Amino acid sequence: MIKLKMPLLAPEVDAAALKAVQPAVRRVVDQLYKGRCPGSDMLGWRDLPLKEDSAELRQIQKLARKIRQKADLFIVVGIGGSYLGARAAIEGLSPALPGNRSGPEILFLGNHLDADYAAELLRYIKGKKYYVNVISKSGTTTEPGIAFRLLLDHLRRTLPAKKVKERVIATTSPVKGALLAMAEEFGFHKFIIPEDVGGRFSVLTPVGLLPMAVAGIDIGKMLKGAAGMARHCSENRTLGKNDALKYAAARHLLYLAGKPIEILGVWNPALLYLAEWWKQLFGESEGKDKKGIFPASVGLTTDLHSLGQYIQDGRRDLFETFLVIDKNRRKVAIPELEGDPDQLGFLAGQQLAFANQQAWRGTMLAHRAGGTPNMTLHIGKRDAFHFGELFYFFEFAVAVSGLLLGVNPFDQPGVEAYKKNMFALLGEPGREEERRALEEQLLKIDDSE
């Protein structure tokens, strides 16, 4: 099981501080399990892995097998919580180099509005057999909406109607939204996102599971890992016994001690997208009511040669959480080099994983000495089971941490502001007045120096 080690958090967080915060932790955990917290209508994620729907799981696996056999490409269309979890698992668990992967190549669209990328993708898919998984809980999000239009248009121009519907899988709300209506009208294959599971908490629903299964990930094992962690969290509600609670409490104490920025440091490039998922989960859950820890991330050792300088020596308002995989999949020994021209001969015969480990150990001490408290989450292995544990660990931790902060961790009212402006500027009917006011403001900006 995932293990948290935090000996380098003192003096900001010590045993006395943890003891003092325990009653508050107990209170919010109670609220969480009694369903009496802010956002209590969105607690579906809490017991989700414990209520595994084996019929749905089999359906996902069956469809994924078919797609793996038949398709050249599988295109995931979604944004935010409707794509980051799948991508985190796919990048995290698949071979790093595309040529070493099996099954269809997996592409992503609908997570931005870049015309160059869309044009290139539309050129790339020409003549290839592809399936589209369009994922949107609301069914009305602009970025995936436009991307899906582009792909549907392409499918319709290249295939007969009967074939088009076989190539589209819609993952959406069971009760509302344009995507649900389209899935029903056109007869697309459909998967459901439970109403009480928010986007960023949906990685263990078909939102994440279908793309993962198409990538060849053992989603049964992932759900087992998540279920184990869910059981552990429910049965161990004190800091001493539950590392997810300890993590939530520690980061809350660090925030109160004047450290409002958390950097997730990953020591394997495979985990870079996991860090993206984590940033969304924590940023959207906690950053509200003018409060919250700002979540950032670094890939290591890469970023020790860029942001490392700042972390060591810049403003002292940071703390770090390292993600360390204890057991690499493969061994690589550093070779001898005759004459030792690079003077690295003292490393000959050592494992590359050992070098990475010493880099982490040295960094922990250096950053602490420079005033950046840090803790480390140890993940036994990079496999589906441990990813399941990790996904649940962070979901549980952010719920507790958000409640400790006094916010509703399950809503995201701030996301609406840009959408409102964008729709008005794009000329949505009924928004003419808003559009005029915004254009006036923008004119002043355009005219300024």
Q: For this structure, is 154 an active site residue?
A: no
Give the sign of the dihedral formed by CA 42, CA 46, CA 51, CA 53.
Answer: positive
Bridge partners, residue 191, by sequence = 171
Q: CB-wise, 285 or 372, nearer to ligand PA5?
A: 285
| Phi-psi label, residue 302: left if phi above 0, alpha if psi -120 to 50, beta otherwise | alpha
Query: The tokens of 423 are what?
Result: 């729709």
Residue type, position 363, single letter:
T
What minimum distance in Å lies between the beta carbon of 142 and ligand PA5?
9
The catalytic position among 70, 419, 420, 439 is: 419
Give the residue at shortest CB distance from ligand PA5.
199
Query: How far from 197 is each of 64, 125, 172, 221, 273, CA to CA, in Å?
Result: 23, 33, 11, 21, 21
Note the residue count of the chain: 449
In this structure, are residues 386 and 2 in contact, taking their beta carbons and an 8 Å threshold? yes
What minimum distance in Å lies between the beta carbon of 374 and ligand PA5?
27
What minimum distance in Å lies between the beta carbon of 215 and ligand PA5?
20
* Biggest alpha carbon–alpha carbon distance for the chain: 76
What minimum distance in Å lies between the beta carbon of 89 and ligand PA5?
16
What minimum distance in Å lies between the beta carbon of 65 and ligand PA5?
26
Q: CB-wise, 173 or 357, nearer to ligand PA5?
A: 173
Q: CB-wise, 61 or 138, nearer to ligand PA5?
A: 138
Q: CB-wise, 297 or 412, nearer to ligand PA5?
A: 412
Q: For this structure, is 305 an active site residue?
A: yes
What secondary structure does DSSP assign to 300-357, as a single string? TTGGGGTTHHHHHHS-S-EEEEEEEEEE-SS--BPPP-TT-TTS-GGGTT-BHHHHHH
* CB half-sphere exposure, 66, CA atoms < 13 A: 10
Q: CB-wise, 113 or 348, nearer to ligand PA5?
A: 113
Residue linked to tokens 């770090």: 320
Q: CB-wise, 262 or 284, nearer to ligand PA5?
A: 284
> Which residues would be at the binding site for ligand PA5 (CB under 6 A)?
79-82, 136-138, 141, 144, 198-200, 284, 412, 415
What minimum distance in Å lies between the beta carbon of 181 and ligand PA5?
14
What minimum distance in Å lies between the beta carbon of 139 and ligand PA5?
7
Residue type, position 203, single letter:
V
The catalytic position among 34, 126, 305, 444 is: 305
* Cis status, amide bond into 11, omega within 30 of 0: yes
Q: For this structure, is 284 an active site residue?
A: yes
CB burial of residue 229 (10 Å; 0-12, 13-18, 19+) = buried
Vertex 419, ends 413 and 425: CA angle to 5°? 150
The catalytic position among 91, 262, 276, 284 is: 284
User: In 3D, which of 374, 142, 341 has the Cα closest to residue 250?
Assistant: 374
Q: CB-wise, 141 or 374, nearer to ligand PA5?
A: 141
Alpha helices in 199-307 (DSSP H): 206-214, 219-235, 243-256, 272-286
User: Cα-flanking dihedrals φ and ψ of residue 321, to 5°?
Assistant: -125, 115
User: In 3D, which of 423, 82, 88 has the Cα closest to residue 284?
Assistant: 82
- Active-site residues, by number, are 284, 305, 419
